[in-house]
Amino acid sequence: MSETNVKDGTVEEGLFLNVSTGQKPNKWGLVATGVIGGTLLALYAIATPFVTPAFRKICLPYVPATSIQVKNVVKMLQSRSGQLVDIGSGDGRIVIAAAKEGFQGTGYEINPWLVWYSRYRAWRDGVHHNAKFYRTDLWKVNFSQYTNVVIFGVPQMMPQLEEKLQCELNESARVIACRFPFPSWIPDHTFGEGVDTVWVYDLKTLKINTL
């Protein structure tokens, strides 16, 4: 706004700023700032559980199982009974597939978003009574109650997990490894090809071979 002053018969024009009242903030600017800030915060909250495992000494990344891998695992569970656990259960597809075959399945997963999504999928597929998911660090779980163990591991973790399972599982247990085999165990069965290969280990055989 301009201000006109009359002084000695002359007219002076200058810029006028109303300092006392200031200027009303643009409400749309505030809304846009809030939306952008909220979106960035939401993205950070969602992305953090996926990124932070990469900073762990032993990282188990989320890589969804293929439909063929799921079928191969289910095939290796035929004629089996007892409780099943999926170590690093991701989006829950292995546990859900096993629950549909009559197993009481449990999935342990460190990523909270995947845990909640797995629970939703189990509810959607009508198997939530037989498929449970928990946000837990796998190294803090004792697996002695399970007779069927499924793991989609990475090479860095397999030696340590091999020792843990051999100590905790009883001889009736079966371990199914996907993507990577255990370094020292000799599989009883191998099924599938390429990335869909599964290695099957029966603890009874392993314990006999270590005597």
Contacts of 192 (CB under 8 A, 6+ apart): 68, 69, 72, 198
Residue 166 identity (one-letter amino acid): Q
The answer to whether residue 8 is domain-embedded is yes
The confidence score (pLDDT) of residue 4 equals 46
Residues 137 and 168 in one domain: yes
The answer to whether residue 201 is domain-embedded is yes
Closest listed residue to residue 130, CA positions, set 78, 169, 76, 82: 82
For each of the chain's 211 residues, which pLDDT tens digit applies? 444 444 444 444 444 344 444 555 566 766 656 556 555 444 434 444 444 443 344 556 677 889 999 999 999 999 999 999 999 999 999 999 999 999 999 999 999 999 999 999 999 999 999 999 999 988 999 999 999 999 988 888 999 999 999 999 999 999 999 989 999 999 999 999 998 999 999 999 887 766 6
Residues 28 and 84 in one domain: no
Q: Which domain holds residue 103?
A: 67-209
The answer to whether residue 96 is domain-embedded is yes
Residues 121 and 32 in one domain: no
Closest listed residue to residue 179, CA positions, set 163, 165, 168, 190: 190
Record the tokens describing residue 197, joined without a space: 């290969």
The answer to whether residue 62 is domain-embedded is no
Pairing of β 148-152 and β 84-87 = parallel
Residues 13 and 81 in one domain: no
Residues 30 and 109 in one domain: no
The confidence score (pLDDT) of residue 9 equals 45
The confidence score (pLDDT) of residue 30 equals 60
Residues 50 and 76 in one domain: no
The answer to whether residue 60 is domain-embedded is no
The confidence score (pLDDT) of residue 26 equals 64
Residues 73 and 165 in one domain: yes
Residues 19 and 119 in one domain: no
| Total-model pTM | 0.72
Number of domains in the chain: 2
The answer to whether residue 174 is domain-embedded is yes
Residues 129 and 197 in one domain: yes
Residues 139 and 169 in one domain: yes
CATH number at residue 76: 3.40.50.150
Residues 80 and 155 in one domain: yes
| Cβ atoms of residues 167 and 144 within 8 Å | no
Residues 190 and 123 in one domain: yes
Contacts of 117 (CB under 8 A, 6+ apart): 91, 92
The answer to whether residue 139 is domain-embedded is yes
The answer to whether residue 19 is domain-embedded is yes
